[in-house]
Amino acid sequence: MDKVKKVVVSFSGGLDSTVLLYLMTKRYGKENVFALSFMYNQRHDIELYQAQKTSTRLGVTHKIFDISFLGEMASGVSSMVKGNVPMATAKDIFGNGGQPSSYMPNRNMILASLAAAFAETIEADAIAFGIQKIDSYSYWDTTLLFYQAMQRVLLLNAKNPICFLAPFVQLGKAEEISIGKELGVNFSETWTCYSPRIEFYNREVADPLIIASESLTFSSYSPCKNCPSCIERANAFNILNCNDPLFNGIIIPTDLSICAF
């Protein structure tokens, strides 16, 4: 990390990548950090809204790339994307040691390749991913071995070698949250649940980021509290004896547009 000058952060809007973005911004300065998000037809696309809010808060340049083809390709095999595949349970993740339905085929390799390509175009010398230890129990592409292998591949580029930063790869969620608290992370602007509960209703606009004079239809996103990601997040906050500020969900306008390239 000491040799890096400019970094592209793979930024989902989830807890892991949000703590990572705060860390990279503090270390390298907002002018040297670029947040890159991906729209791939994920069930929890609310995370992209959270990513926009955090990027704005930190003053970091943020882009969302539309790679919907990935979600279309995986719609029949992965519960991570919109489709008919049932969401994985905690038992699927932590019980049998198998690969759960929420696994997205080669997702992190694809995202790392796109992040590295983008890094070259802006003359950045590193990409950063928020992969963390507990995910490695079920996802091969979040492991230390995956990180090391991808680093070797990226360093084959003799002209524009890209450093692969994964500072949390051997840390758990609770350790990440502790780091985030030190960095002043606003955890209410993160999202973790893979299968959010959504309700719709009308209300007056209260968000200062939304300019409107009339009542709009809003959607309320609440964590399901049953999927592996919810359970992992809840356990981490419990370990630290902290309340999760996202416990009651978030509210956004239903006509919110997420600008993707």
Query: What are 260's two structure tokens?
Result: 């993707």
Structure tokens given for 16? 């892991």
Sign, CA dihedral 199-200-204-210, equals: positive
Cβ atoms < 10 Å from Cβ of 149: 14
Segment 214-245, tens digit of pLDDT:
556 778 899 998 888 898 899 999 999 999 99
Mean pLDDT within 243-257: 79
Q: Helix or strand or coil: residue 126?
A: strand
Beta bridge partners of 252: 219
Burial pattern 30-63, b for ≥16 Cβ within 10 A else e, equals eebbbbbbbbbbbbbbbbbbbbbbbbeebebebb
Query: For 154-203, how does the pLDDT look when each residue is reduced to its tens digit (9 = 90+)?
Result: 999 999 999 999 999 999 999 999 999 999 999 999 999 999 988 876 65
**Angle separating helix axes 228-239 and 173-183, nearest 10 degrees:** 60
pLDDT-derived band at 213 (thresholds 50, 70, 90) equals: very low
Tokens (6 digits) for 141: 């592409």
**DSSP codes of every residue in 40-58:** S-BTTTHHHHHHHHHHHHH
Question: How many angstroms separate the CA atoms of 31 and 53, rounded?
Answer: 17
In the chain, % of residues over pLDDT 90:
70
Phi first, then psi, for residue 91 (nearest 5°) are -65, -35
pTM, whole model, 2 decimals?
A: 0.91
Residue 4 vs residues 10, 121, 125, 164, 189: alpha-carbon distances, Å = 16, 16, 6, 10, 27
What DSSP designation does 214 have?
A: S
Domains observed in the chain: 7-191 (3.40.50.620)
CA distance 166 to 176: 12
User: What is the Cα–Cα distance from 56 to 51, expressed in whole angstroms?
Assistant: 9
Residue 203 pLDDT: 59
Q: How long a stretch of residues is the chain?
A: 261
Amino acid, res. 106: N
Taking residues 1-26, what's their average pLDDT? 95
Question: For residues 110 and 204, what is the distance between their CA atoms, to the nearest angstrom?
Answer: 41
Distance CA(226)–CA(229), nearest Å, equals 8
Average pLDDT over residues 6-32: 98
Lowest mean pLDDT, pick from 33-37, 71-75, 92-96, 168-172? 92-96
SS3 259: coil
| 12 pLDDT more than 80 | yes
Which residues lie closer than 8 Å to 118 by C-beta, 6 or more apart?
8, 34, 36, 63, 124
pLDDT for residue 257 is more than 70: no
